[in-house]
Structure 1
């Protein structure tokens, strides 16, 4: 079951119905760092958010690239990716009525323009690398691991490449423009999260974290080391403990910043004269997972 923003209402249950423990994802950790009240609205209250065209486009482009790598190597061509675009859009939007509501119908000129912008992003991907030269170990991989402190990490990695020598590269597609300092910091936080999870799962520190900005045809690469990931692990421990303290008391304080301009929840935020809903209590054991839109860009 989903709400209008595509957030899983049953996010704390596996397909077999088993209740999962609360986990920390890169998106929700980023929310708490940005604004504890935003974390509450998304992970505890689960307030609906209207998807944007940019978010949905990113989700569809990610789906196309995942399906591209499922094709035989010699078929991973720009024209095949373009041919996958509209079927992916129809399939995914059929599952998400809120997505189709972004357009007036299949003949809406805005839809044609939007699909054209997605095609340009796919073309940008092919300028950055040739998928015929790659054989990823996994695409859209769910990773989950428990740290020594007991914090459970959970997230989805766009792609993992493993060299014959065993070196790991983590790849993340970004459909927005290459970021300035604040955006780059957020992206690297996400990538370090994945690197830490993989290190704890496999005992190998990824050799490279690669961010591919399709709109700008730019790639950013970063090489983590074990000492850095140990420090990052302590950072995640501290974030999770702060979340648990706030969860017990209901004291999720707003943190006003320039990012508030893009927040859907100003009507409920005291910084903008609003009143939050009555605190429903910490949602244990429901897991505040990422949504496909979180992972899109």
Structure 2
């Protein structure tokens, strides 16, 4: 860990947040935090409501979670971004949201008061706030009249928060930003957006991007995939500030591991090329209406099996105009109801 970023004068030069807008669809099964869910409205293509009919719009930007969806399964991307199919909350994702909120709020306290007991004491209040803002999470414990499952679940969140104190020392940290929304437009016109859990800035101006994960660290052969999100953020910061972050840091609370990577400019340029190719594939699928499923072991987590051809399902009518085969720019189809 780079101690020069942990200590020193008040941070300066943090990336500037762009205005937020809209809400995102649900994240992957193990998604961490509500922040990532708030970043993808543009990536998903907002829907305009006219009475009871919602008119779908083509995607206009890209976030790490939605890029990951398309890489995992183009049809999953369509279900989440184009069709906006509902997904049930999960205990793992909701726990991640709760832990993120606690770690964010802890830094409101003076450095000397950022202790594990204070952090765990924040859990009940943050859980109440989460239930108020997202009433659907109450469904998770609807069949738990005695509150036993909820108590165990809250206890697991408490252990994750306590483990964080064995990995980082918040009394030596003064984050420049927490839950920072960032957005940048590439030369190609593609807009990238996302929310960074924490940005630390050293007195010398070096930037560290930190992301909390409530799951376990991946095996070494999957580390590159895990770092994709962080390199995405680093690319946005570079495009916004012309500064390559000094360090990317993934803090895995589930296993007590910290994964770090020090990017160089060539890394970010490679990520940019990958994202541009990915965006072209998304634009082609949007225009043709062809979103192919990509079966993997993760299909067992998917809420959309009833609509997936791999499981005998039928996708809903495609709600965007499609380009007829061999027609060049002509389109066919209609804007259907949601």
TM-score class, shorter: 0.7 to 0.9
| TM-score under structure 1 length normalisation | 0.88
Is 1:159 matched up with 2:195?
no
Q: Residue 173 of structure 2 aligns with which residue?
A: 134
Cα 1:83–1:126, aligned 2, differ >3 Å: closer, same or farther?
same
- Aligned-partner Cα distance in 2 for 1:149–1:63: 35
Deviation digits for residues 241-268 of structure 1, max 9, x if unmatched? 1101110111111111111111111111
Corresponding position: 1:222 with 2:261 = yes
How far off is 1:107 after superposition? 4.2
Offset of 1:25 from its aligned partner? Answer: 0.2
- Return the offset for 1:21: 7.8
Give the structure 2 partner of residue 45 of structure 1: 83
Aligned counterpart, 2:238: 199
State how 1:115-194 maps to structure 2 within 5 Å. 115-180=154-219, 184-194=223-233
From 126, 134, 154, the counterpart of 1:88: 126
CA deviation vs aligned residue, 1:1-43 (integer Å, no higher than 9, x gap): 97995977x9457xxxxx9982100000010011100000001
Structure 2: where are the runs of 5+ without partners?
1-21, 27-33, 47-56, 322-338
1:59 aligns with 2:100: no
Which residue in 1 is equivalent to 2:335?
Answer: none
Q: Structure 1 pair 4/156, CA: closer, same or farther in 2 (3 Å)?
A: closer
1:288 match: none
Q: Report if the CA contact (8 A) 2:206-2:246 is conserved.
A: yes
For the 8 Å contact 1:4–1:50, the answer to whether it is kept is: no
Does the CA-based 8 Å contact 1:120-1:215 persist in structure 2?
no
Superposed CA deviations along residues 59-79 of structure 1, whole A, max 9, x for unmatched, are 000000000012111111111
Contact 1:3 1:48 in 2 (8 A): no
Q: Secondary structure at the match of 1:98?
A: helix
Distance in 1, Cα, partners of 2:107 & 2:151: 25
TM-score, normalisation: structure 2: 0.77
Q: How far apart, in 2, do the equivalents of 1:126 and 1:215 lie? A: 13
Question: How far apart, CA to CA, are the structure 1 residues paired with 2:171 and 2:271?
Answer: 35
Following superposition, the deviation at residue 184 of structure 1 comes to 3.2
What's the offset of the Cα at 1:228? 1.3
SS at match of 1:101: helix
CA deviations 1:132-179 (Å, max 9, x no partner) are: 101010000000000111110000000000011111100000001112
- Following the alignment from structure 1 to structure 2, what is the Cα–Cα distance between the partners of residues 260 and 4? 18
Could you say which residue in structure 1 is the equivalent of 2:326? none
Within the candidate set 74, 81, 88, 1:36 is matched to 74
Tell me, in whole angstroms, the C-alpha distance in 2 between the residues paired with 1:272 and 1:182.
30
Aligned residues of 2:58 and 2:82 also touching (Cα < 8 A): no
- Equivalent residue number for residue 73 of structure 1: 111
Match of 2:249 among 210, 215, 225: 210
* 1:22-33 correspondence to structure 2 within 5 Å: 22-33=60-71
1:246 aligns with 2:302: no
Q: Deviations over 1:63-118 (max 9, x none)?
A: 00000012111111111101100100011112212101111368410000000000
